[in-house]
Amino acid sequence: MSKVRIGVAGANGAFGSKHLDALAQIDEVEILAVMATTLNKADGIADIYSIPNRFDNYDQMLGLPDLDAVILASPTQIHAEQGLKAMAAGKHVLIEIPMADTLADSEALLAKQKKTGLIAMAGHVRRFNPSHQWVHNKIVAGELSIQQMDIQTYFFRRTNMNANGEPRSWTDHLLWHHACHSIDLFRYQADEEVTEVHAIQGAIHPDLGIAMDMSILMKTETGKLCTLSLSFNNNGPLGSYFRYICDNGTYIASYDDLYDGHNNQIDVSDIDVSLNGIELIDREFVSAILKGREPNSSIEQCLPAMRIMHEIEQKMTK
């Protein structure tokens, strides 16, 4: 196989277009198909990227005999169902974060991956952002050890709109989506299991039915801490900010940018072949398929984060 032929489901969403832009930069990829909520939307997206096959039906896209793999940028609530269908059809799959919104569904995905031997990844892009890669490389080299991570994830989502300012057909979630990024990243960077977790949530939105504010505290077996604050009520700069307090320096990461504790920017331009985290995770997906190896951010590697979120959910709903 010289090229991996990929279909993107949820191509009309905010992250579907990000993946299409990223895939277009990878020589070993042929974007074979897109699937959107309507055929008109699928046609419009496919025309932009000159993609030959357009669908408004996921099962029909999976039926393409030449399709090797799919990327799921569809609503969270159908990630597990679509992931299972992809592997049942013999397709490798990259599932945008979170892989599922329950632990049981996440475990079902891993069981299917084990049974089929296919490549199955979760879209934990923080592992691939150059800023976090820079810190990870220092940790692996023994130059840094995390003492604490302080993470702020702030958005303004009092109505059900997506990142493009368009109405969502599903409801986003602070725990099963946004906390998922940080819980996995903390485990990945600490390279230790979380042995203690505490969480509280604020008021439930009367229409959306979700908590709009949340605080999570985690501790590893050697005492490394993570303090995570999340809000959909923040009327100000949006996004996630990660403060690494280490034994040898403090570092602040914001997506692909990195600063030291005194706000001096660190050059991360030579960390990888791109500064685009989405492109880097897609490259890892393609490379793993071509080489037949387990990818970074495999479903198996990310399952412990799902277990932690399940534990948090159980504690908060008692």
Residues 208, 238, single domain; the answer is: yes
Residues 140, 266, single domain; the answer is: yes
Residues 167, 260, single domain; the answer is: yes
Residues 261, 284, single domain; the answer is: no
Residues 201, 284, single domain; the answer is: no
Residues 261, 286, single domain; the answer is: no
Residues 71, 192, single domain; the answer is: no
- Determine the distance from the C-alpha atom of residue 31 to the mean position of all C-alpha atoms in its chain, rounded to a whole number: 21
Residues 251, 289, single domain; the answer is: no
Per-residue pLDDT of the chain (318 residues; tens, 9 = 90+): 789 999 999 998 889 999 999 999 999 999 999 999 999 999 999 999 999 999 999 999 999 999 999 999 999 999 999 999 999 999 999 999 999 999 999 999 999 999 999 999 999 999 999 999 999 999 999 999 999 999 998 888 777 666 666 666 666 778 888 899 999 999 999 999 999 999 999 988 888 787 889 999 999 999 999 999 999 888 887 788 999 999 999 999 987 899 999 999 999 999 999 999 999 999 999 999 999 999 999 999 999 999 999 999 998 876
Residue 263 has what pLDDT?
A: 95
Look at residue 308 and tell me if it is in a domain.
no
User: What range defines the domain where residue 262 resides?
Assistant: 129-271
Residue 190 has what pLDDT?
A: 96
Look at residue 150 and tell me if it is in a domain.
yes
Residues 230, 288, single domain; the answer is: no
Structural domains counted in the chain? 2
Look at residue 152 and tell me if it is in a domain.
yes
Look at residue 309 and tell me if it is in a domain.
no
Residues 248, 194, single domain; the answer is: yes
Look at residue 305 and tell me if it is in a domain.
no
CATH code at position 192: 3.30.360.10
- Encoded amino acid at 85, one letter: K
Look at residue 56 and tell me if it is in a domain.
yes
